[in-house]
Homo-oligomer: A and B are copies of this chain.
Amino acid sequence: MRKETRQVDVGDVKVGGGAPIVIQSMTNTDTKDVASTLEQIEALAAAGCEIVRVAVVDQKASETLATLVKHSSVPLVADIHFDHRLALTALNGGISKLRLNPGNIGSEAKVREVVKAAQERSVPIRIGVNSGSIAGSILEKYGRTATGMVESALEHIAIFEKLNFHDIVVSLKATDIDLTVQAYEELSSRVNYPLHLGITESGTKWFGTVKSAAGLGALLSRGLGDTLRVSLTADPVEEVKVGWAILSAMGLRQRGPLFISCPTCGRTEIDLEGIAAEVEKRLSDYPLPITIAIMGCVVNGPGEASHADLGITGGNGVGLVFRHGKILRKVAEDELVDALVAEANNLLAER
């Protein structure tokens, strides 16, 4: 059961309040390089990224936001640290969301100025607490603990609430998964702002994929999370793919086909690994969110995959194509993938 949260609008994308969990990522281009940044934004959008964040490190970067916003096909988020003027320029440029910690931008007057401008434009702000950069006073009192992270978030939240600003999203990122889970659970029991999930510094492409999936799986399985970003030391397009794979694996959202396949074992008589890889490749752009089972033995195959829309199995040179567990075709093993693709196209024509 997903945790009920307040809903905010990030441009035309809804976050929280029962909306589908939103996938986001962040550009790694120089934000001031408009052509490269727009190209990456569109590559991200094409991969299924629904909100894109850009780093705004200086005034010049903040001034390019208006152009990026004008041409981007998805809502943009400005990532700002310390300097409230960058936030004001970003808001003037039509940004759809800010990532900014109010406790870090100076006087209350400055915060009030940003909040007023955000309110006028109905722009939400994400508070991002990172276990690695908790304020000294909190660190002293609570250490680098879940409670410390939550107290840090609550301090920032209190600043906004005092100004009657509630279009808030909160993230509590750490590299430690247990700490992250504890922090999100604790915060979730105290406020109902939508939660942005992520495991920070998760690592290299392969290990970071495993760690992000493990951490986000732990959080999502507890009903936590309204939007997520997978962080990888890799092309951000890969972050989007992994994000979708995680939501798909958790049964929360699906984009294109979901492949299930049994592990190979001593009973497998067909080249399951090769067939699975070929099926995944040939149907990677298939538009319907169906489930396709690729099973290694004729005995258990159709039965175990009866919940799949389509499936294949084989043994002794013979292959079967089935639909909801019912056998459709019996073909030679080397025609299995062709037959499956043909049936997938039949299904597409029907719908």
The answer to whether A259 touches B207, judged by C-beta atoms less than 8 angstroms apart, is yes
Number of interface residues of A (CB under 8 A): 81
A100 interface contact, C-beta 8 A:
no
Q: Does A267 count as interface, using CB distance less than 8 angstroms?
A: yes
A205: which B residues are within 8 A, CB to CB? Answer: 273, 276-277
Contact of A214 among B28, B249, B306 (CB under 8 A): B249
Cα A250 to Cα B220 with chains together (Å)? 15
Copies of this chain assembled into the complex: 2
* Contact indicator B28/A232 (Cβ below 8 Å): no
**A221 — nearest CB in chain B belongs to which residue?**
B218
Residues of B with C-beta under 8 A to A210? 209-210, 213, 242, 245-246, 249
A261 interfacial by beta-carbon distance below 8 Å: yes
- Distance between Cα atoms of A231 and B225 in the complex (Å): 27
Q: Do B201 and A250 touch (CB < 8 A)?
A: no
Enumerate chain B residues within 8 angstroms of A133, measured Cβ to Cβ. Answer: 300, 303-304
| Residues 251 to 265 of chain A near chain B (Cβ within 8 Å) | 251, 258-265
Question: Besides A178-B250, A202-B249, 11 other CB < 8 A contacts?
Answer: A29-B266, A132-B303, A133-B300, A176-B251, A177-B250, A200-B262, A210-B210, A210-B213, A210-B245, A214-B249, A231-B263
> What are 11 sample pairs from A and B whose C-beta atoms fall under 8 A apart?
A130-B304, A133-B303, A177-B249, A201-B260, A204-B277, A214-B216, A215-B249, A218-B218, A218-B220, A233-B262, A234-B264
